Structure 1
């Protein structure tokens, strides 16, 4: 029991807004309000990524961290100008300013891109989880549970899937914020990337409001999702077949041909383009082939569904 409580406490700490975000909001919010209308897409991304930080706080944090990066860049530029003889001298004088502005822009751009990246990751996770949870929803609906009961049952699952987190979000809206079921689900739809999952939630709302049969709705949706999952698996299998051919050519045929060619060329000349042929063989054996193998593994890992 204590262990479970400790895990829940750590989880809450990880999802809470940090003190540095609060500090940056207090000192910069009044000065960065002019950025709010220009970053409305960022506000939407923060909501859809389910990031536990308000938009205004995140904007202030972006500027704060960018200013810190700019100060570090200016110091690095100043140190570099003192130890490196930069010509012309005018560039050396403005180097701290240039490095500071460069790091400011890079940091601001990276922080602005993080919510959009998290939205894409969340969308891909939801697409992977839907075929597995839709059957569970159909079973719960068949047992006579209402839509609210279905979400409460899913919320009790001790997993970290995004659909379980969304179910907990709906239950929180109902039990703590006092929302009705439809308003709670609509609030979640506004925080969900456009795709099959948002369509599933919208269809569930329409079914409930029209007095339809949830069991039939989830059964029909499950069939569609399973067919799409089957088509995705077929495409993945075909893609893996192409990767296997690339693997054969890149890591089996090419090294053999390269060694044979270098061996034959070694009879006529001891080097190639200024490099010793034995050195080239060592580079091929201990660098090119292992690196290519790692790249192939990474490529296959990104192509294969995680569940």
Structure 2
């Protein structure tokens, strides 16, 4: 924890312990994301930060609203109760107070909601990275097991390898459960399988637990899973290439042919009507085309699997 998180924990940490059951999903997301901040400290930081952000946002909104006299710009053409007309001279102050309270609630609530959602985003990112590197990590495990290395030592060596990313990080937690907490291999696999964000890794670890408990050949199990994930990997890459082809066709149709058609149509309509208003052309050139291209780039980047 940094100094700010420690301050928030000392301020509200004791009160946050009672919320562990009501925020069980947040607690699980923090564990799956391998956050170094305890649940009580994280929730206390979220509460303090949302309050500070709400007050700062409210003060800023109040200053802008009062300086630019925004409530006086609002007009209402309908009928109002007669007693409200007596307070029309105070509409600037009343409007500023109302807008300030709304901004305080919206900004503070949005900040708190972001804190609640952010760990699940990190856990989802870790799940994607684990699923990407898991087939290669299982190939490594299979090779080590074929060489006669014990399963506990295999996970320890996998955790020391920087090549396999988040899969190696999960292997380090298995080795930690064995070396630091003195658990046997089955208990270590059970603990990590319950907190890992990846369903594929959870399935693999549970299968390894079953093979060890039943006395089956663990090397054969590793070979079977390596072949299975290799086939699944090829299918996923094939599906990604097909999706990428569909996206490229959509890009050509929407942002190349579509915008060209709109430019020609606008030019012809301007010639026929005798007017020369280039506003629509500016919208196409400076808004639709660049933002559309950025949207396609972000979509492709989010879909592309890591190598």
Q: Same fold (TM over 0.5)?
A: yes
Closer, same or farther: CA 83–34 of 1 in aligned 2, 3 Å: farther
Structure 2 residue aligned with 1:99 = 103
TM-score, structure 1 normalization: 0.86
Please give the secondary structure, in 1, of the residue aligned with 2:22: helix
1:227 to 223, 226, 231: 231
CA contact (8 A) 1:73 1:99 kept: yes
Deviation per residue, 1:33-65 (Å, 9 max, x gap)? 443332111111111121112111111111111
Q: Which stretch has the larger CA shift, 146-155 or 22-31?
A: 22-31
Q: Which residue of 2 aligns with 1:23?
A: 7
Distance (whole Å) between structure 1 residues aligned to residue 286 and residue 41 of structure 2: 49
Residue of structure 2 aligned with 1:54, choices 38, 49, 57: 38
Aligned to 2:292: 292
Give how far 1:68 is off. 1.4
CA RMSD across the alignment: 2.0
Give how far 1:232 is off: 1.2
Question: Mind listing any 5+ residue stretches in structure 1 that lack a counterpart?
Answer: 1-16
1:66–1:201 CA distance, 2 compared to 1 (3 A):
same
Unaligned runs of at least 5 residues, structure 2: 73-90
Matched, 1:266 2:250: no
Question: Closer, same or farther in 2 for the Cα pair 1:277/1:83, shift >3 Å?
Answer: closer
In 2, Cα distance between equivalents of 1:66 and 1:160 = 37
TM-score (ref. length: structure 2): 0.86
Output one character per residue of 1:89-146: Cα deviation in whole Å (capped at 9) or x when no partner. Answer: 4232243333222222111100000111112111111111111111111101100011
Matched residue SS, 1:154: helix
Q: How does 1:111-130 map to 2 (within 5 A)?
A: 111-130=115-134
1:144 paired with 2:148, answer yes
Q: What whole-Å deviation, never above 9, does each CA across 1:159-201 have from its counterpart, x for those lacking one?
A: 4711111112222222223222222222211211251110101
Task: Quickly say closer, same or farther: Cα 1:76–1:160, change in 2 above 3 A.
Answer: farther
The answer to which of 71-80 and 102-111 deviates more is 71-80
Larger mean CA deviation between 141-150 and 64-73 belongs to 64-73
Partner residue of 2:61? 77
Aligned residues: 287
Q: Deviations over 1:3-43 (max 9, x none)?
A: xxxxxxxxxxxxxx222111111111233444333211111
- Aligned equivalents of 1:108 and 1:185: distance in 2? 34
Distance verdict in 2 for CA 1:236–1:158, change over 3 Å: closer
